[in-house]
């Protein structure tokens, strides 16, 4: 199987290796075509956003105004804070130049002169790796005003890295823009949409890191090629991050539409101790969880997962075996969303706190069956009543987990059972950083 | 007590300002640089940054309090950030958390009396495939085991 985003090529992160394998030829090709052509190709390729909403990338680009006096901006979203999601960091580490090439092509397509790659603050190491790649690309004339000579075109753009500082909500596109503007990361009310009124009031497009990294191969090999990979309605490969109770957790690049069971049992090596699966969250912690008996035959693409009662999200697959205490897991998820709620909207600010309180009560064995209905009521009152999608992100796991595991939860609240949440502490590989080298 | 950036750090902040059409955008970077120089963010630092970036000091404070990675009190020389979110939890994140807590005798956001260690329970660090994990200052330590945790902390304890 061909890998598009994370090819198995040694030292692919180095500029010279990237160039040996056709690096920056897609950009050269793109600059000989009209911007409408590029947008059209990306639209036809069927590329959909990999950040969670799975929206058509070409369509998103086409919303950018053609004639405007204002500067236009591209933001590349590498905030990657969704629990269970750890794919973008692989791109920063192993394929930064394809991300940079994708960024300059995207800038050209939408007419942006400046792009900001927003990377979460905790990724110090990956920010440094990305910055190194960017410095190399600048020095070699693939980014910045030297692009004019390198590619023989009038177009040039600058790329800057903006380092976050620990806020899940900054992965929401409008919060991300506020963060780049040097403000608190509050999501904005939409409309106006970013394509009309984004960074500093100018037209802006925000795309996920993985989405942008898919652009150069589409330009180079053609949209027909890309559209033929995986599921036709959601084509291409997807980086699936598998975590939790599996033998081989990690990021697997596979065609969209790969069976969820195939990913868990074949690629991720199955469940330790051959235990049964109790629950799978297929797209990062905010997506509706599936029961172990619901995953058979489920394909991993946006449409199939919707039909199965969940969503693709960021492709972060969290697997929980039969010994997992789901009440503790759900309480932990609720704690996360309470912690990360920005506090602008009352239903979310208060509601996430209530969800956490009720769930902690259940964990302590002091809850009652009526609390389960209360959880659903509170979740329903958050969902749809907030500025941004964090409301849904907090409500969905609670609502769907309680609904889909009703018997389990009823049994759990009626008596205190002691289930170990972790089956064992796994010690596999050694850490790569010698203690002596820790920076302080 | 007033605060002044070192000339090198001022230069770094000026380089950050150049990335954006408005100075305010450099506030996050400036705060990181200040934290690096001073260890934590003080009112004087916020006033200084406000002046540099044409901001109101309250807006700087707003940024400091919104993002979890800026600290308004001194942290330990080694700031240990243990992830206990779901993917880590499923692989023993809480065992690691309790182990570190007991070993150092401190809880969330506390500092050991010698100022060497501080502890924070953090949300998902994007290390789900290599869980459980903690970060010490800027470095990730992944696929932790109890033995590994002991080894790392003991080594740091014996270091100056």
What CATH number does residue B18 fall under?
1.10.10.1590
Cβ <8 Å between A182 and B62: no
Cβ <8 Å between B68 and A316: no
Which one of B33, B62, B86 would you mutate to disrupt binding with A, by most A Cβ within 10 Å of its Cβ? B86
Q: How far is B1 from chain A (nearest CA, A)?
A: 24
List chain B residues with CB under 8 Å of A281. Answer: 86
Q: What is the pLDDT of residues B61-77, one digit of tens each?
A: 999 999 999 999 999 99
- At residue A412, the pLDDT reads 85
Cβ <8 Å between A165 and B67: yes
How far apart are alpha carbons A317 and A311 in whole angstroms?
A: 11
Q: What is the pLDDT of residues A52-104, one digit of tens each?
A: 999 999 999 999 999 999 999 999 999 999 999 999 999 999 999 999 999 99
Q: At residue A440, does pLDDT exceed 80?
A: no
How far apart are alpha carbons A272 and A251 in whole angstroms?
A: 18
More confident residue, B157 or A428: B157
**Which residues, given as ranges, of chain B have pLDDT below 50?**
none
Class of CATH domain A326-414: mainly alpha
Q: What percent of chain A has pLDDT over 90?
A: 91
How far apart are alpha carbons A294 and A281 in whole angstroms?
A: 11
Cβ <8 Å between A243 and B124: no
Q: Least CA distance to A316: which residue of chain B?
A: B128
List chain A residues with CB under 8 Å of B24. Answer: 181-183
List chain B residues with CB under 8 Å of A180. Answer: 20, 25
Output the six-digit token pair for B93: 């994140």
Contact A140, A131 (CB under 8 A): no
Do B54 and B84 belong to one domain?
A: no
* CATH classification for the domain delimited by A15-227, as one of 1.10.3720.10, 3.30.70.20, 3.40.1350.10, 3.40.50.11540: 3.40.50.11540
Do B58 and B96 belong to one domain?
A: no
Do B97 and B147 belong to one domain?
A: yes
- Using a 10 angstrom Cβ sphere, with 0-12 exposed, 13-18 middle and 19 or more buried, the burial of residue A34 is exposed
This prediction has a pTM of 0.94
Q: How confident is the model at residue A1 (pLDDT cuts 50, 70, 90)?
A: confident
Say how many residues make up chain A. Answer: 440
Q: How many separate domains does chain B show?
A: 2
Q: At residue A430, does pLDDT exceed 60?
A: no
Residue corresponding to tokens 């506020």: A178
How far apart are alpha carbons A79 and A390 in whole angstroms?
A: 15
B34 touches chain A (CB under 8 A): no
B129 touches chain A (CB under 8 A): yes
- At residue A417, the pLDDT reads 47
Output the six-digit token pair for B120: 């924070």
Residue B18, in any domain of the structure: yes
Strand order in the sheet with B134-136: B117-122, B78-83, B134-136, B139-141
Cβ <8 Å between A166 and B69: yes
Q: At residue A427, does pLDDT exceed 80?
A: no
Residue B136 phi/psi, 5-degree rounding, is -115, 120
Cβ <8 Å between A165 and B70: yes
Residue B143, in any domain of the structure: yes
Do B31 and B91 belong to one domain?
A: no
Do B100 and B151 belong to one domain?
A: yes
Q: Least CA distance to A240: which residue of chain B?
A: B129
Residue corresponding to tokens 């969905």: A396
Q: What percent of chain A has pLDDT over 70?
A: 94
Query: Can you tell me whether residue B152 is helix, strand or coil?
Result: helix
pLDDT mean across residues, chain A: 94
Do B62 and B91 belong to one domain?
A: no
Cβ <8 Å between A180 and B67: no
Do B59 and B107 belong to one domain?
A: no
Nearest to A440 among B28, B77, B94 (CB): B77
Do B26 and B82 belong to one domain?
A: no
Nearest to B86 among A88, A249, A332 (CB): A332
In terms of CATH architecture, what is A237-321? Roll (3.10)
Residue B73, in any domain of the structure: no
**What average pLDDT does the segment A151-166 reach?**
97
Interhelix angle A406-414/A326-340, rounded to 10 degrees, is: 100
Q: Which of B66, B86, B111 lies at the terminal end of a domain, its last residue?
A: B66
Residue B146, in any domain of the structure: yes
Q: What is the pLDDT of residues A385-426, one digit of tens each?
A: 999 999 999 999 999 999 999 999 998 887 544 444 544 444
Do B62 and B102 belong to one domain?
A: no
B92 touches chain A (CB under 8 A): yes
Q: How far is B99 from chain A (nearest CA, A)?
A: 12
Domain of B24?
Answer: 7-66
List chain B residues with CB under 8 Å of A431. Answer: 140-144, 148, 152
List chain A residues with CB under 8 Å of B142. Answer: 429, 431
Residue corresponding to tokens 């503007």: A181
Which one of B21, B41, B87 would you mutate to disrupt binding with A, by most A Cβ within 10 Å of its Cβ? B87
Residue A89's closest CA among A208, A237, A182?
A: A208
Do B118 and B145 belong to one domain?
A: yes
Could you tell me which residues come within 8 angstroms of residue B82 by beta carbon, excluding any fewer than 6 positions away? B93, B96, B97, B100, B119, B120, B121, B122, B134
- At residue A366, the pLDDT reads 87
Output the six-digit token pair for A330: 């759900």
Per-domain residue ranges of chain A: 15-227, 237-321, 326-414
Cβ <8 Å between A438 and B136: yes
Q: What is the pLDDT of residues A117-136, one digit of tens each?
A: 999 999 999 999 999 999 99
């Amino acid at each position: 199987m061909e890998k598009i985003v994370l090819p198995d090529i040694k030292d692919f992160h180095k500029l010279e290796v990237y160039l040996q394998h056709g690096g920056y030829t897609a950009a050269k090709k793109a600059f000989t075509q009209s911007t409408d052509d590029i947008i059209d190709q990306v639209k036809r390729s069927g590329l959909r956003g990999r950040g969670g909403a799975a929206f058509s990338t070409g369509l998103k680009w086409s919303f950018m105004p053609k004639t405007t006096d204002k500067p236009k901006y591209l933001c590349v979203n590498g905030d990657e804070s969704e629990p269970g999601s750890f794919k973008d960091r692989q791109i920063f580490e192993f394929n930064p130049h394809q991300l940079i090439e994708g960024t300059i092509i995207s800038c050209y397509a939408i007419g942006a002169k400046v792009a900001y790659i927003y990377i979460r603050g905790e990724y110090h190491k990956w920010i440094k790796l990305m910055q190194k790649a960017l410095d190399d690309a600048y020095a070699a004339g693939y980014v910045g005003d030297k692009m004019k000579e390198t590619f023989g075109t009038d177009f040039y753009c600058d790329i800057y890295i903006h380092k976050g500082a620990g806020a899940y909500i900054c992965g929401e596109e409008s919060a991300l823009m506020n963060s780049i503007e040097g403000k608190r990361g509050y999501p904005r009310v939409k409309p106006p949409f970013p394509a009309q009124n984004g960074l500093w009031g100018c037209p802006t497009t925000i795309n996920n890191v993985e989405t942008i990294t898919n652009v150069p191969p589409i330009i180079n090999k053609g949209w027909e090629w890309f559209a033929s990979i995986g599921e036709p309605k959601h084509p291409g490969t997807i980086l699936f991050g598998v975590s939790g109770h599996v033998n081989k957790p990690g990021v697997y690049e596979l065609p969209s539409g790969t069976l969820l069971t195939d990913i868990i049992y074949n690629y991720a090596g199955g469940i330790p101790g051959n235990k049964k699966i109790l629950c799978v969250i297929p797209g990062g912690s905010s997506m509706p969880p599936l029961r172990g008996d619901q995953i058979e035959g489920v394909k991993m693409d946006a449409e199939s997962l919707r039909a199965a009662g969940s969503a693709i999200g960021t492709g972060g697959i969290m697997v929980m075996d039969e010994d997992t205490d789901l009440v503790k897991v759900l309480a932990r998820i609720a704690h996360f969303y309470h912690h990360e709620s920005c506090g602008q909207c009352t239903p979310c600010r208060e509601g996430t706190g209530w969800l956490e309180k009720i769930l902690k009560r259940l964990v302590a064995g002091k809850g009652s069956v009526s609390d389960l209905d209360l959880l659903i009521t509170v979740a329903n009152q958050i969902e749809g009543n907030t500025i941004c999608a964090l409301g849904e992100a907090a409500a969905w796991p609670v609502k769907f987990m309680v609904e889909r595991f009703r018997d389990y939860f009823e049994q759990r609240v009626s008596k205190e059972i002691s289930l170990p949440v972790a089956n064992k502490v796994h010690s596999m590989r050694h850490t790569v950083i010698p203690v002596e080298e820790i920076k302080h | 007590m007033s605060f002044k950036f070192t000339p090198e750090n001022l230069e770094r902040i000026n380089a950050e300002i150049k990335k954006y059409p408005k100075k305010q955008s450099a506030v996050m970077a400036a705060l990181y640089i200040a934290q690096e120089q001073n260890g934590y963010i003080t009112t004087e630092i916020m006033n200084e940054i406000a002046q540099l970036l044409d901001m109101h000091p309250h807006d700087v404070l707003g940024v400091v309090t919104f993002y979890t990675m800026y600290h308004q009190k001194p942290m330990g020389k080694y700031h240990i950030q243990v992830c206990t979110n779901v993917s880590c939890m499923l692989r023993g994140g809480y065992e690691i958390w309790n182990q570190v807590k007991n070993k150092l005798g401190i809880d969330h956001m506390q500092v050991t009396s010698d100022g060497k260690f501080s502890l924070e329970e953090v949300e998902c660090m994007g290390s789900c495939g290599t869980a459980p994990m903690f970060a010490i200052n800027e470095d990730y330590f992944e696929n932790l085991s109890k033995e590994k945790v002991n080894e790392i902390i003991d080594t740091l304890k014996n270091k100056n």
